[in-house]
Structure 1
Amino acid sequence: MPTASGGLALWAEDSELPPRLPGRRGRRPVAHPFASPGEALAERFGTQGAEVSRMTLLLPSYASAPEASPELVRDPLAAGPAPRGRLRLLPWTVPVLVVGSTLPELEGCRTGASLHYLTRLADLAGELVAHGQVLPSLVQDPDGPAARWRPARSGTYSARFAALRDAMPPVCRSEQVAPSEGRAPAEVLATTLDALVDAIARERLGGVELDGGGGAVSAWLGALTGEARFEADHAELGELADHLAGWHAGGPHESPVRTCFRLRSPDQGTPADDDWRLEFLLQATEDPSVLVSAEEVWRDHGSVLRRWVSEPEELLLADLGRASRLYPGLDEALREAHPAGIRLDVDGAYDFLTHSALLDQAGYGVLLPSWWGRTHELGLKLTAGGRGTSGVVAKEDGFGLDALVDYRWDLALGGERLTEAELSDLAAAKVPLVRVRGQWVQVDQKRLAAGLAFLKRAGSGQMTAGDVLAQAALHPDDTAHPMPVTGVSADGWLGDLLSGQVERHLEPIDPGPAFTATLRPYQRRGLAWLAFLDRLGLGACLADDMGLGKTVQLLALESLARRGPTLLICPMSLVGNWQREAARFAPGLSVHVHHGADRLTGADLVETAAEHDLVITTYALATRDAETLGEVGWDRVVLDEAQNIKNSASRQSRVIRALPARHRVALTGTPVENRLAELWSIMDFANPGVLGSVHTFRARFAVPVERDGDTDAAERLRRVTGPFVLRRLKTDPAIIGDLPEKFEMRQLCNLTAEQASLYQAVVDDMLRRIDESDGMERRGLVLATMSKLKQVCNHPAQFLGDGSPLAGRSGKLARLEEILEEVLADGDKALCFTQFAGFGGMLVPHLSARFDTEVLYLHGGTPKKQRDAMVERFQSADGPAVFMLSLKAGGTGLTLTGANHVIHLDRWWNPAVEDQATDRAFRIGQRRDVQVRKLTCIGTLEEKIDRMLEDKKALAQLVVGAGEHWLTELSTGRLRELLTLSGEAVGE
């Protein structure tokens, strides 16, 4: 933020302020409780000579603490619980790092609006110096005379000054300069811009010695490049000040009116010939709608503008003179007594267009033809088609991504192919601006020549369908071609894929009488989409939302046609579910389960698999028996919960992606859980090579999207994956209108005194040991502490592991008992999820005794037959009403619509995992509203995790942070802030 002296200072908070800044009387400033210490600022961002100081700021505050800045509100782990009470302005002292005119590198930090604003301000100061829009000045400070460089106060400067003044974030003027007020925006801006201009000018004049021959003038000139303060005779200083005042009066001056330039092309109606015209205008900076042509200024003396400036004619001439330094083409107009504009040929018009940015940066108004800057640039267009893209009624040789298709490259304008005659005209043009099909376009002759040479060399031929799709994903600046690829089109099935609308164009199909289920309309469309890609031999990723029936759509596909066996790989917890669903909906399919210690091996497995329609196995066994499974002639390989291969470098992922098959299908409700690399792994299974190598994918998509938020890269990724990914959400009424509501609520729980004591002991122990550790040891210690604190929040007995009684010792357990009491009293059923299998094991006997009812428990060690029996019993009308599940074992694949209550006992780091668990109940077949409760201990790390999870849900679907590992990199002081208990954590 700016300081009163005009420098820049960094501090660790930011917040919104109302238009006026009256402070609250009667309160002395106190230290900001969340500001980073000055030493930490200096260590993290310190530049050579940076000064650590303190400032008093007027900030919107509660009685106990200042309000968190808007940027930190998005990060609840940093913001913490919101204080109670009403907001008002209060003074706070904060440590600051005074950095002068140079902003340090701030990588890895969340920057506030004020820093972005100051960056714009620093850029303006640099432009003013670079363009000579500065004046040397003499100022009389209380400590003596000083030489300063100041911005030239011209009309062009006024427009940018006004825009920056109006855009100033309130925090930039929060420095308390009087007991009851802050500073006005114009004052802050003028002081800061003056200081920045002076510092930048001195930096660029470093080493230059100015000499005026002695006396006050010589001392003043030396002070313009050296130490600003100087000593001189008082009388000589007065004479120097008078000369400078007269000189400044004849130079640039601040004005509420600025000069504008408007370029009109011949096709805009005036003039009637082929000439361009550059018109001059005057514009009121405070009311941009007031725009007066120079002709009107000379005709009626600019009467409309006289409310802002007394002599608009003189201002126009002065501005034109200064603008001619940036665009010498204006010299011709200055030879006229009443300049109103100039005529230009095409060369002159292009020359002005290339200079327009300089004029705009200098603060002049620049109005250009609407076509300038549009994306209708000259580029390459790829058209593919021919035998390899014709009908798709039946699978034939030549279909699929490896199919060879005919292609043709053309030069195109805005995606429209140019004719031979138009190309000849472009090549013959001697000027960079050419009119093509009624549009003026800029032509780079070197690039055009390279493009024409490319067409002669490789203008047509054959390429694979996969290569055609890959062209659609190229960045416009990709170096693979001499010009940007502005369009890719094809006919037949390849054109349907490129359109990204395959599913909408397909007619729903019926799987036939062998399939006993009745498909919903969207499921029939999904089946048609799967069958379409199947006929082409192209892999598919069915990424329907959890609960929309991916299983039934796949079984319907299996019922359509049988060319050979299908291998279905799923988590162990879902093997029984697939068996039951296949027997129920596709009884004609012969199913073999490859599982258990007595499973078939070697030739017996190969022979048996070939005799069945569907072979079901687990990810672990598919990896272990991959060599034998690879000998089977699989027609199709299907991955259920395909996110199990999201780590492309793992052995499991590499082995499963290598299994041979004619057709591949990935089923997953969460194609991207944490990083885009997970999507690459799934897509590389479905259609190997379609996204290139993992390194190419990372450079082309993952880094631009995840790190830089590049929406263009995200769009290109959707374009290339769109043909193979079908994603529908159950929250869309057009997909499913009869699904009941889901109500999510956070249940806040207090800690008992015992829990609070244990919690604080864990935090103290970590903070003591962390100073003695670093690297992997430190990171491991932080992660272990996170786990211990979660256990303390659950129950002291879980943390202590001493087998002690549970009753009356945990606020969270007390709340769970209250919820279950209501659930049982209403005759409902509940699912209880915990990430700690041991905690679930402790709760089951306690809850069974407490409510005199059976409590089912499913965890990773539950045998397959037993878990299948549990699910069946729970789903029955008279089955047990409470089902305890470990999150990993029971969070995916199961259908547990018998429950209409879901309770998350502790919070997972990834909201997608929690949503998967919730959707065991909230899915097709559920007839009642589902209530989801997430138990959270107030004032602890759990509450901060809860807020972080809500934040992650709001992030763009393709940009999701990764787990808790970022916590391990926090400073010890920051960890202390995050983990320390608040006063409201302990119950009465």
Structure 2
Amino acid sequence: MYVLHALFTDAGCWELWAEDSGRPLEAPARRRGGPGTAQRHPFAAEPAVLARLLCAAGEEVAATVEFADPRGSVPLALPSHRNGPRPSTSFTRFVLGGAAGDGSGDGATTRPELRAWIVPTLVLDPRDGAALLALLDGETLATYDVDGAEADIPLSDTVRYATAVAKFAEVLVRRGEILPDLDADEDSGEYHAVWRPAYALDSAAHRKALIDAMPPVFRAQLLDTELTGRPAADVLDGAVNALIDAYVIGALTGPHGLHGESLVPPRLLDGPRVKTPIEELWLDALTSASGNLLDPDRLDPTTAQGFMTALDEWRTTHRATASPVRTCFRLLAPEDGERPHDGSGDAAAQWTVELLLQSTEDPSLLATAQEVWTRSGAARLLRAAGADPRRDLLAGLGRAARSFPALGYALREASPTRVRLDAEGAYDFLVRAAPALIGNGFGVLLPSWWSAGRAELGFTLAATPAAEQPGRAARRSGFALDDLIDYEWRVSLGGQTLTDAEFQALAEAKSGLVQFRGRWVEVDRERLAAGLKALGSRRGGAIRAGEFLRTAVVGLDDEALPLEAVEADGWLGDLLSGVAEQRCAAVAAPPGLHATLRPYQERGVGWLAFMDGVGLGAVLADSMGLGKTIQVLTLLELERESGRAEGRPTLLICPMSLVANWQREAARFTPGLEVHVHHGAERLSGEQFRAAVTDTHLVITTYGLALRDRAQLAGVPWHRVVIDEAQAIKNAATKQARAVRSLAAPHRVALTGTPVENRLADLWSILEFANPGLLGSAESFKQRFARPIERDGDERAAERLRRATGAFVLRREKTDPAIISDLPEKVEMKVVCNLTKEQASLYQATVDEMLREVAEAQGVGRRGLVLALLTRLKQICNHPAHFLKDGSRLAGRSGKLARVEELCEEVLAAGEKALLFTQYAEFGAMLREYLAGRFGREVAFLHGGVPKRGRDAMVLRFEEPDGPPLFVLSLKAGGVGLNLTAANHVIHVDRWWNPAVENQATDRAFRIGQRRNVQVRKLMCAGTLEERIDRVIEEKQDLAERIVGTGEGWLTELSVAELRDVIRLSADAVAE
């Protein structure tokens, strides 16, 4: 396995390197020289191999690395032990399977030190690097290894940090917080036209936060023999500069690019005069896709220096200055009495831009220009805060006139207080002047209706299935995608349907700012004209239901106006509104089903049958534990009893770990189904396979075999293909995903509890399996939905996606009102334990010793020390023997173990069963041995080293009435994929500090099949880091999910004082 890293080096390039698990983790014996003498990193991947891996990740990624140089190398200062560099946190997590910061062998017990290591790199120019970062999202990159097998490359902290920097730079460009400049290279004498950031106040704060959050490895490049790395601010500024240059040049020269002169200083280029040669050269270089170097043969150095001075003066006027006030502008709409009633839809009445002075400390404190000139009102308060209101207002107005030309007329007055505008001028202020003013640090107050967003103009597509009534989905027969339906196109503005007269009046308006039914709205006049033309050829008629659905989901090809809404009656309306599941007749359990369905499961089976009936694939996305398996089995049993699928089996594809589970569940709940498992070395092939599956109802196989036996599976006329854990095909370009999608069947069902894990592209891949072609191509999906939603937070695009997918995805949560009454209760409790005196002594000694080391450490080494400290303290909280690893006795030495004993005693006395989760396999082994001896009962123990066959046997044994009453599980091995409803007690012995992981482990017991209340107890030691971090998770749940939920890494960024406050030992830690 490989772990990908990213660097932005002092050469101005993006350089990629990777840790390779196939190489030895230790270096050869060090040659002469100290820590600053660099050796080759022993387990860094060869750049050529890395290039092949990236090229195999898809065409878009391949295009960014096509011309990368595989001959780069960078010396880095990395935390090391005596035998080599320590594996990164990401390598430890993904490859070694340890908690963040865990080491092994010598590296786990000795203090890390910084040493110099040379890593071979793949060098990308800034533009290719920017393009690649835009494609790296989530935790892994799907690709194929050198043998052609599927592989996921984990993305390290440095890659995820680089993508955050890239998004920041992109936001700066989109907000206009950029300025052009000219750089001189002192060594070569060359001049380069460049784009640089012009940070507004909030962006400057964001920059500071990124500097503070920089992973130490990202700035670990060595420029000399000192093991200090580069200053974080220098690294970030260099990366942001390069990214902004790449994004702007891409925007200016791309197929939808801007005109270069729209971004350059108007003061230098305005007027009818002919541009000077250097201005022409500079403009050409600023907007050139081939490079930013000014042609030296046409450049006079003296003129260039003068031009640079003029540019610097201009840039100075755009930099935010430290002041207690700033000039502010407030747009006021005409009063009601001023509004015309000429039927034109726009306004000849006067709009007003009010001139103000605003406190930067308290933005709600505003002084009008009138108050400034008369030294009254709020102006007095601003003066008391240290401002000179008159001077500051005049200076600000002078600077603002460059962004708001209409202000020039007001400045002819001695004491200007406002600017009068007509509707066209007001619209120009809203769309041009206001963003420019904001970007240059001025305050701008706009009407609430503008801030709420544009009232979008679009089409509404309305249809009624012939001879249908709403709710027809409940009857299920007599309709299909080939049915003809009546439809018509309508035009809407802000969700309100326009009459023909209103539409015509808007099209004839003189401004983009018009009145519509008593309110001001913005309209795009070009789109209005295009919509008027398109409506003439798009009135209505008859269309097949399948074509209507595709148009409703994907939208229009010509995009004259966007498709904003879809209205339909009958079964189409039920489907598109997402209520088909509620309208479908609940399916009664067939006689052959040996189970009682819950009401929502009956509706789910009815919905699956409804989707089958209309010829649509279904995505059943119920959350984990709600019984997706039994709903599918019930559907198959219904078909078996009715004979509808005679001779045409259903193919089920699932992860290997779930094959036995599906086989057991089918035998338990639907024993009438003939089931064939296509797996293992003894699996059938050729005619034997075809003959065997023809007489079965359900064939179970794995994703791996779906690829390997693709041709054989494709030769069977399947009635249906079902994929379980459908996120396995989330990467649409992989061979596995393509193989699964290629299997032909008239019916398809995808089962997943997480339809979107990291990116919206995951959802497209799953829906492309269920309904091929219905969402359009992957590229059109990215353009219409993924990029606007993920990059821009576009709520309209998100709503269109909900509309598009709601018809085919049934998602129900345990917390839904219609579901919660159907499940037993889950009761969660925090159990606080006290330390013994021995534990407290070890805890305090460890804190004192390691905090001194942390205070002296720097950079990457400090991060490793903090993670080691956290691990040791958690081990001490569990038990002294866990920390000391000396095999000493367990009884009577740990407050937490004593509480575990008490809880287990209560469970056993009630004749019930419990799951005990720990993140440490070694402590799990200690618990199993101790509890078995303490209670004289069998205790099961599942950890990562148990093979699949032993795991399956262990689960079966625990579920039996006479099976072991206690089941100890390591969190990683037992946290997913198991059905352990025999237990109704869950004990988290130690904490993972990731709510999602803990909840997933809890759901091994709290799931369908559980008939009793489930009691969940989370243990923590009072007065220690366990109690304080739990408090952070409880008080800041959103933060916990976004930051704390990623593990312990966030704690490594705390100062020594902050860290001491988290880990300190309180007086209440030890009970008297």
Instruction: Find 1:105's aligned residue among 192, 198, 207.
Output: 207
Q: Establish whether residue 500 from structure 1 lines up as the match of residue 544 from structure 2.
A: no
Instruction: State the one-letter code of the partner of 1:867.
Output: M
Q: CA deviation at 1:568?
A: 2.6
CA distance in 1, matches of 2:519, 2:212: 44
Q: Write out aligned runs for 1:824-843 (5 A).
A: 824-843=908-927
1:527 and 2:605 matched: yes
* Counterpart residue number, 1:593: 677
Instruction: Report the equivalent of 1:930.
Output: 1014
| Offset of residue 903 of structure 1 | 0.8
Residue 501 of structure 1 deviates from its aligned partner by 2.4
CA contact (8 A) 2:343 2:505 kept: no
Once residues 1039 and 690 of structure 2 are traced to their aligned partners in structure 1, the CA distance between those partners, rounded to angstroms, is: 46
What is the CA deviation profile of residues 858-906 of structure 1, one whole-angstrom value per residue up to 9, with x for unaligned ones?
45424366235314324xxx54321223445544454444322111223
CA distance in 1, matches of 2:910, 2:783: 55
- Alpha-carbon distance between aligned partners in 2 of 1:521 and 1:977, rounded to the nearest angstrom: 51
| Residues 1:379 and 2:446 aligned together | no
Report the CA distance shift for 1:372/1:682 in structure 2 as closer, same or farther (over 3 A).
closer
Given candidates 514, 538, 544, the residue that maps to 2:622 is 544
The answer to whether the 8 Å contact 1:675/1:962 transfers is no
Offset of residue 583 of structure 1? 3.2
**1:565-964 map, 5 Å:** 565-571=649-655, 574-619=658-703, 622=706, 625-645=709-729, 655-672=739-756, 678-688=762-772, 711-737=795-821, 739-749=823-833, 753=838, 757=842, 794-795=878-879, 805-808=889-892, 810-859=894-943, 860-861=946-947, 862-863=949-950, 866-867=953-954, 869-874=956-961, 878-892=962-976, 894-908=978-992, 910-937=994-1021, 942-943=1026-1027, 946=1030, 950=1034, 954=1038, 964=1046
Q: CA RMSD in A?
A: 6.5
Deviation at 1:977, TM superposition (A): 2.6
1:754–1:675 CA distance, 2 compared to 1 (3 A): farther
SS of the counterpart of 1:263? coil
2:1000 partner amino acid: Q
Structure 2: distance between partners of 1:819 and 1:406: 66
User: Distance between the aligned counterparts of 2:567 and 2:885, measured in 1?
Assistant: 65
Give the match for residue 413 of structure 1.
493
State whether structure 2 residue 334 is matched by structure 1 residue 263: yes
SS of equivalent to 2:722 = strand
Q: Report the 3-state secondary structure (helix = DSSP H, G, I; strand = E; otherwise coil) of the residue aligned with 1:746.
A: strand
1:119 maps to what in 2? none
Unaligned runs of 5+ residues in structure 1 are 1-98, 112-202, 209-223, 229-253, 286-307, 309-318, 336-340
Which residue in 2 is equivalent to 1:556? 634
Partner AA of 1:412 in structure 2: S
Q: How does 1:344-383 map to 2 (within 5 A)?
A: 376-383=455-462
Aligned-residue offset at 1:503: 2.0
Quickly say closer, same or farther: Cα 1:537–1:785, change in 2 above 3 A: farther
- Structure 2 contact 955–980 (Cα < 8 Å) conserved: no
Q: Are the equivalent residues in 1 in contact too, given 2:851–2:1056 (CA < 8 A)?
A: no
Cα offset, 1:531, TM superposition: 1.3
Secondary structure class of the residue paired with 1:846: helix
**Aligned equivalents of 2:869, 2:330: Cα separation in 1:** 64
Given that residues 569 and 617 in structure 1 are in contact (C-alpha distance below 8 angstroms), is that contact kept between their aligned partners in structure 2? yes
Could you say what secondary structure the match of 1:548 adopts? coil
- 376-385 vs 973-982, which deviates more? 973-982
Residue deviations 1:831-864 (CA, integer Å, cap 9, x gap)? 1123444543442232111111122334542436
How far residue 635 of structure 1 moved from its aligned partner, in angstroms, is 2.3
Paired letter, 1:560: L
2:990 partner amino acid: D
> Could you tell me which residue of structure 1 aligns to residue 173 of structure 2?
none
**Matched residues in 2 for 1:329 and 1:968: separation?**
49
Q: Residue 264 of structure 1 contacts residue 369 of structure 1 at CA under 8 Å; is this kept in 2? A: no
Question: Within 1, Cα distance between the matches of 2:1053 and 2:909?
Answer: 49
* Cα distance change, pair 643–445 in 1 and its aligned pair in 2 (3 A): closer
**Superposition TM-score, scaled by structure 2 size:** 0.53
What is the SS of the residue equivalent to 1:934?
strand
Q: Count residues with an aligned counterpart.
A: 727
Question: Which runs of 5 or more residues in structure 2 are unaligned?
Answer: 1-200, 214-308, 359-380, 382-393, 414-418
Identity among equivalent positions (%) equals 50
Query: Structure 2 vs 1, CA of residues 809 and 537 (structure 1 numbering), >3 Å: closer, same or farther?
Result: farther
Counterpart AA for 1:866: A
| Residues 670, 912 of structure 1: 8 Å contact kept | no
Change in Cα spacing, 1:812 to 1:628, as seen in structure 2 (3 Å) is farther
The AA in structure 1 aligned to 2:566 is V
Rounded to whole Å, the distance in 2 between the matches of 1:696 and 1:961 is 32
Report the Cα distance in structure 2 between the residues aligned to 1:423 and 1:660, rounded to whole angstroms.
47
Offset of residue 815 of structure 1: 2.8
Separation in 2, partners of 1:896, 1:928: 13
1:446 to 2:526 alignment: yes
Deviation at 1:566, TM superposition (A): 1.6
Q: Deviations over 1:248-295 (max 9, x none)?
A: xxxxxx9xxx99966245798999999968899999x9xxxxxxxxxx
Give a deviation string over 1:520-574, Cα, whole Å, max 9, x none: 3222211121112222332323232333332222222112324221223445554
Matched AA of 1:661: A
Alpha carbons of 1:445 and 1:514: their partners in 2 closer, same or farther (altered >3 Å)?
A: same
CA distance in 1: counterparts of 2:622 and 2:509, whole angstroms: 54
Aligned residue identity for 2:528: L
Q: SS of the residue aligned with 1:665?
A: strand
**TM score, norm. by length of structure 1:** 0.57
Q: Per-residue CA shift, 1:650-680, capped at 9, x if unaligned?
A: 6655554554433332333444556655545
State the AA in 2 paired with 1:536: V
SS in 2 for 1:105: helix
* Per-residue Cα deviation, 1:419-455 (whole angstroms, up to 9, x for no partner): 6555555445556566667777655433323334445
Q: Tell whether 2:1071 aligns with 1:983.
A: no
Larger radius of gyration: 1
Native 8 Å contact 1:263 1:369 kept in 2: no
Residue number in structure 2 paired with 1:167: none
SS in structure 1 at match of 2:592: coil
Question: Counterparts of 1:749 and 1:385 in 2: how far apart (Å)?
Answer: 65
Could you say what secondary structure the match of 1:503 adopts? helix
User: Using the alignment, how far apart are the partners of 1:368 and 1:408 within structure 2?
Assistant: 36
**In 2, Cα distance between equivalents of 1:355 and 1:512:** 66
* Corresponding residue SS for 1:734: helix
Distance in 1 separating the partners of 2:1034 and 2:761: 23
